[in-house]
Structure 1
């Protein structure tokens, strides 16, 4: 298991991740725009709120909001949303999406490892495809625990995105996914990605080597969360056919942790 308590982030890898997503902001935003305009917005909204604390108006933090899909979706459901991201270009896309859907969201540029909020601020924290990007995911989980209210919940959606760089079984699955995308005559989602740059970054990130969500479950319990719920088949209801073919070997999981 990776070193949970490593507290010495290297500035270079953090800057590499930030620059990578800054460059991808336009393309990644287009995916989010399409999701906001499709049935997927309702599917994600339903799944998140089904697993959220029962409260008429939740105070929500969207960690690593990117172009703002979660933030806009939950604000449209009538909740009070704050959204953070370290990447300025992503935040600009998110602000534009909020304007397009006429919702008020508090956008904050921040490193998700060190949030500018008081303890016990939020009822719910949501995040998607963020933790695998982090140089110090345990430190981030500690920080998210800090800003959650007692009884609040963290809902994290992620996957073993780059385990194929370290695990031969996953490598063969990744290659089969590429063949299946081609034979199914659908877009290969890795073709439009700077694969070389992202793989170079992923090799330096600790969660690329870990079997998840087992790692996350252990880390969250050490942080102090008292209840955990895992759904390793979350993608079956939330992904479309194209996503399921592209990422068959790396199914998305949902982990819900209660403080």
Structure 2
């Protein structure tokens, strides 16, 4: 129990320390135009607006901006006060939007109170995936949808190994002060202690969601987002989109 608590606090501290510069790191800020449209397209699976949407681990509110902009009523939570401070400032004064300090694995929200749940790059950090998925199932109404954007950040995909090697050499020559991502020592240290330490893949997550009660679990392509990210980037960031295997997942709580 103590070890798990320490891991949770390490994760919270890691993201909190990055809050002020998080949007400056490639892959976190969502550029308006084609990239924003590519991220928003899968949100059509959440249902017609206005739906009651719970965004888990909202961070600085980049995804929040998209789902709220589609006309949904959004509750966005994060367990980092520093991340929430940035998100609240970014979205100050907007209606139909509530930010709360809470744990994505234990939201404390009422049962069957949301039409949809979404999260970006959260599932790989879960310390108890089974409990988290059971909680998400609980707060969804029957027929509600879950939308997950994530990936396997543990090792490069075969076609991304050369890109990873080039990026590692690039960091040695000219370090990027804002890119403290999957190649950083601290990030790797946290990842080794997580349930998905062997890599988060659709094949690994789907049966755990099904055990929690979710149905119609399916994968949709992430490639349109990667292509949009590459469109207006330099070589370094274009290479970053090719290293890891990423996916988007849709699931439903049965009626």
Q: How far apart, in 1, do the equivalents of 2:130 and 2:163 lie?
A: 30
Contact map agreement 2:76 2:99 (CA 8 A) in 1: yes
Q: How far apart, in 1, do the equivalents of 2:73 and 2:7 lie?
A: 33
Q: How far apart, in 1, do the equivalents of 2:170 and 2:190 lie?
A: 30
- DSSP 3-state at the match of 1:10: helix
Q: Do structure 1's residue 158 and structure 2's residue 153 form an aligned pair?
A: no
Q: CA deviation at 1:245?
A: 2.0
Any residues of structure 2 matched to 1:66-145 within 5 Å, and which?
Answer: 66-99=59-92, 102-145=94-137
Residue number among 35, 38, 43 corresponding to 1:40 in the alignment: 35
Contact map agreement 1:159 1:253 (CA 8 A) in 2: yes
- DSSP 3-state at the match of 1:57: coil
Q: How far apart, in 1, do the equivalents of 2:52 and 2:3 lie?
A: 30
- DSSP 3-state at the match of 2:245: coil
Q: How far apart, in 2, do the equivalents of 1:208 and 1:33 lie?
A: 22
Q: Do structure 1's residue 213 and structure 2's residue 205 form an aligned pair?
A: no
Contact map agreement 1:178 1:188 (CA 8 A) in 2: no
Q: CA deviation at 1:74?
A: 1.3
Segments of 5+ residues of structure 1 without an aligned counterpart are 1-6, 165-169
Give the paired residue count: 241
TM-score when normalising by structure 2: 0.84
Any residues of structure 2 matched to 1:173-188 within 5 Å, and which?
Answer: 176-181=162-167
- DSSP 3-state at the match of 1:159: strand
Pick closer, same or farther for the CA change 1:47–1:181 going to 2, 3 Å. Answer: same
| 2:190 matched residue in structure 1 | 201
Q: Do structure 1's residue 255 and structure 2's residue 249 form an aligned pair?
A: yes
- Measured against aligned partners, the alpha-carbon deviations of 1:196-244 in whole angstroms (never above 9, x if no partner) come to 111111110111214511111000111111211112x31x111212555
Pick closer, same or farther for the CA change 1:249–1:37 going to 2, 3 Å. Answer: closer
- DSSP 3-state at the match of 1:93: helix
Pick closer, same or farther for the CA change 1:188–1:80 going to 2, 3 Å. Answer: farther
Residue number among 59, 66, 82 corresponding to 2:52 in the alignment: 59
- Measured against aligned partners, the alpha-carbon deviations of 1:82-101 in whole angstroms (never above 9, x if no partner) come to 0010001110111112128x
Contact map agreement 2:151 2:200 (CA 8 A) in 1: no
Segments of 5+ residues of structure 2 without an aligned counterpart are none
Q: Do structure 1's residue 29 and structure 2's residue 23 form an aligned pair?
A: yes
Q: Do structure 1's residue 192 and structure 2's residue 179 form an aligned pair?
A: yes
Pick closer, same or farther for the CA change 1:158–1:189 going to 2, 3 Å. Answer: farther
